[in-house]
Structures are given as C-alpha cells and as structure tokens.
Amino acid sequence: MDTILIEALDPVVERKLRQRAAEHGLSVSQEAERILAEALMGVPITASSPAPLTDEEKQARVQRLLSYARKPDQPIDWKAESDAIWDFLE
C-alpha cells in the first residue's frame, strides 16, 4: 500500500480524526483509510468496525502496558544473559 503524507493538516481536523480513531479502537492511519474508502468507494464505515472495548478491557490493556515498566521480581544476572546470547550466536 502506498503512503500518503498530509502536510499542514488543520489541528481541529487532526484532533477529530484522533478522537474518531480512538472511539473505533483503530490507529489514526486505519481510521483515515476507512474514511477514504467510504468516501471514494461507498464502503460503509460500520461494515468492519470492531466492537468497542469495555471499561474492563481498557483497564486490562493499561495494566498490561504498565507491567512492562515494573521492576523484575528478582535481580537479573546480566552475565548469564550475555553468556546465553553468545552461546546462541556461536
């Protein structure tokens, strides 16, 4: 698929596009693609829209992302990790 760059997009339009993408659980690029498809080919936007996330699903996603930033339960043996990598590469 080709890439489209839109320069000097009106900030209000950008904000509304971001809000609409978030409401549909899509990236800004995916939402823009859906809008263009509807406008140019008559494909209804609701045809492939995913079900909105429940509050519990949103919270679970947030917790999963936050877990990546937590400290490990036990110290990491960096030498052992490094040795394992080198053993794998040899």
pLDDT in tens, 33-66: 889 988 998 877 664 556 778 899 999 999 888 8
Domain count, the chain: 1
How far apart are alpha carbons 79 and 90 in whole angstroms? 16
Is residue 19 assigned to a domain? Answer: yes
Is residue 57 assigned to a domain? Answer: yes
Q: Dump pLDDT digits (tens) for 72-82.
A: 788 889 999 99
Residue type at 8 in one-letter notation:
A
Is residue 5 assigned to a domain? Answer: no
Is residue 3 assigned to a domain? Answer: no
Q: What is the pTM of this model?
A: 0.47
How far apart are alpha carbons 75 and 16 in whole angstroms? 45
